[in-house]
Structure 1
Amino acid sequence: MTPPPPDTAPILIVDDMEENLVALEAVLGSLATKVVRARSGEEALKAMLREEFAVVLIDVLMPGMSGFETAANIKGLDQTKDVPVILLTGASVDPDYAYRGYTVGAADFLVKPFDPWLLRTKVNVFLDLYRKNHQLAAQATQLKRLLTGSSETPTSPAEPGRATPPPSEPTPTPTPPPGDDASLADIASRLAQIELLLRDARDTESAGLADRIAALEQAVERLLAGRGA
C-alpha cells in the first residue's frame, strides 16, 4: 500500500446502492479531494489494501458483509486499523446501532437523511488530521536525517609518509565544521515546527511528546549558546 501525497487525502465511500454513492459524491465534491467508490464490504477492503485513505464512509445495511462487519475488518488489519470510519444508516435505525458502531471502532455514526454541511464538516476534520499527520511524519523524517548527519564526524585521510597513531595514543578533539552551527539552528527551527504541530493535535499523547520535543529544542539552543561563548 503506497501512501498518496498528503494534499490528495482520498476518501472511500462504501454503499451497495448507486443512488447513495452519487449523493455522497455530490455532497463531498466541494472538498476538492479524490473520492473512491466501493459497492460492498469485500470491495472496500480490497481497495484499502491497494491505497491509503484519509477516512471511510460506510453504509450499515449492505447485503453480504454489513457495515459493522466491514468496519470491524478494517480495524482488525494492521494496514488499515488507524483509518477513521464513519458509519451511515437510514432513518428507521435500531437504537443499538450507534452503540454497535462505536464498539467495532467507528469514529462517528450518522443517520440519513443527514445535513450535507454537517457531513462535510465531519469529513473535513479527518482530512485535516490526515494532512497534519503526514506533515508531522515528513518533519520527523527530515529531522532524523539532520540529527544523524550532524552527529557524524568526518574523518581525514592520513598524510602521505605519516604513520597512523596507535590506538592507545589520545586523539585530539576535532573542531566542529563551520556549517555545524547552521545545522543545529536548522534543527532547532524544525523542532519548534514539530512542537507546534503536536500542540495543535490536542491529545494527551501528543502533548507529552511535544514536551519532550521542547526539551530537546532547549538543549540544542543551549549547545548553540555554548559554542558562541
Structure 2
Amino acid sequence: MTPPQETSSILIVDDMEENLVALEAVLGSLTQKVVRARSGEEALKAMLREEFAVVLIDVLMPGMNGFETAANIKGLDQTKDVPIILLTGASVDPNYAYRGYTVGAADFLIKPFDPWLLRTKVNVFLDLHRKNSQLAAQAEQLKRLLTTSGERAGEPADSALPPAASLATAPEPAPGAPGAAPLPPPPAVSAAAGAATAPAAPTDQDETARLAEIASQLAQVELLLRDAKDTEQAGLADRITALEHAVGRLLVDRSS
C-alpha cells in the first residue's frame, strides 16, 4: 500500500525583504509550504526545527554569508543531505559558482533568474524528497512484514490449539463406551467455546500469502530505488532484486 504523501517544505534565506517576497511569488504556484529566514543563523535554527526538501540561499548576506551558511548546513548530520540552491546577483566573482559547489551546493543561479527555470529546479528536489520519503515508508513496512513473518515461522507447532472447525465436527463417543469418560460438554457448548478461544494456527496458505505480500513490497521498493537514478541506490536495487528471487524460490518450493 502506498503511504500518503507528505507536504514538502521549502526554506528561502535572504536578508532583504523584497527578495523574500519575490521568491515567495515565484514558488507560490508549487503549492508547498515556504519558510523564511533573514540570516544564516536563522536558517540553521529553522532547519533544526523542521525538515525541508530544498533550501534557497542568497550568497551576499551580512554576517554569515551564503557560502558559510551552506557549509554549516552540510556539516550537520541532521541537515547534510538537504539540497541547496545558491542565488546571487549578476555582477559577481566568476569563481562564485565553483565556491558554491565546493561547499556542497547542488545548484547555482544568477539573478535575475527565469522564474520558470527556478520553479523547475525546485520541483525536481521536491519530487526527489517525496520519493525518498515514500521509499523510507516502504522499507519500514517491509521490515515489519519480514519481522512478523519470522516470528510466525519460529512458533512451536504444538503450541497452537486445533482449529475451531475440528472441534465442531469431531464425532462424539457414545455414553459408557471405552474412552468416553469423562463425558465431554454438550456439543453446542464445546463448539462455541472452541470458536471463541482457539486461535487458528497459521497454515501453509497463510504463509504463502505473506511471502507473496513481501515479494510485492520488494518489487515496489526496487522500482523506487531505480527511479531515483542514483549509483548507490541502484546497487541497493540489485540487492532487492536478489531478495525478490529468493522469496520467489520459497514460493515455488511451497507450491511444489
TM over 0.5: yes
Q: CA deviation at 1:208?
A: 1.1
Give the drift of 1:6: 4.5
Aligned-pair distance for 1:38? Answer: 0.3
3-state DSSP of counterpart to 1:154: coil
State the match for 2:149 in structure 1.
150
Q: Does 1:182 align with 2:181?
A: no
Equivalence for 1:117: 116
Secondary structure in 1 aligned to 2:254? helix
Deviation, structure 1 residue 7: 2.6
Deviations 1:158-206 (A, max 9, x none): 99xxxxxxxxxxxxxx985541111100000010111111111112111
2:59 maps to 60
Contact 1:11 1:53 (8 Å CA) reproduced: yes
RMSD: 1.7
What SS does the corresponding residue of 2:91 show, helix, strand or coil? Answer: coil
* 1:149 maps to amino acid: T
1:89–1:110 contact (8 Å) kept in structure 2:
yes
**Cα displacement (A) at 1:222:** 1.0
2:133 maps to amino acid: H
User: Cα deviations across residues 79-112 of structure 1 (Å, max 9, x unaligned)?
Assistant: 1000000000001011010011001000000000
Q: Which runs of 5+ in 2 are unaligned?
A: 162-200
Superposition TM-score, scaled by structure 2 size = 0.79
Matched residue, 2:240: 213
More off after superposition, 52-61 vs 195-204: 195-204
Deviations 1:6-39 (A, max 9, x none): 4310000000000000000000000010000000
Counterpart residue number, 1:14: 13
Paired AA for residue 45 in structure 1: L
Could you say if the C-alpha distance between residues 28 and 175 of structure 1 is closer, same or farther in structure 2, counting changes exceeding 3 Å? closer
In the superposition, relative to structure 1, how do residues 29 and 228 fare at CA in structure 2: closer, same or farther (>3 Å)? same
Alignment of 1:85 onto 2:112:
no
2:251 counterpart residue number: 224
Contact 1:54 1:84 in 2 (8 A): yes
1:112-142 CA-to-partner distances (Å, cap 9, x unmatched) read 0000000000000000000000000000000
Aligned to 1:38: 37
* Matches of 2:59 and 2:234, distance apart in 1: 35
TM-score normalised by length of structure 1: 0.88
Of structures 1 and 2, the larger Rg is shown by 2
Equivalenced residue count is: 211
Please tell me whether the aligned partners of residues 6 and 130 of structure 1 are also in contact (alpha carbons under 8 angstroms): no
Residue 121 of structure 1 aligns to which amino acid in structure 2?
A: T
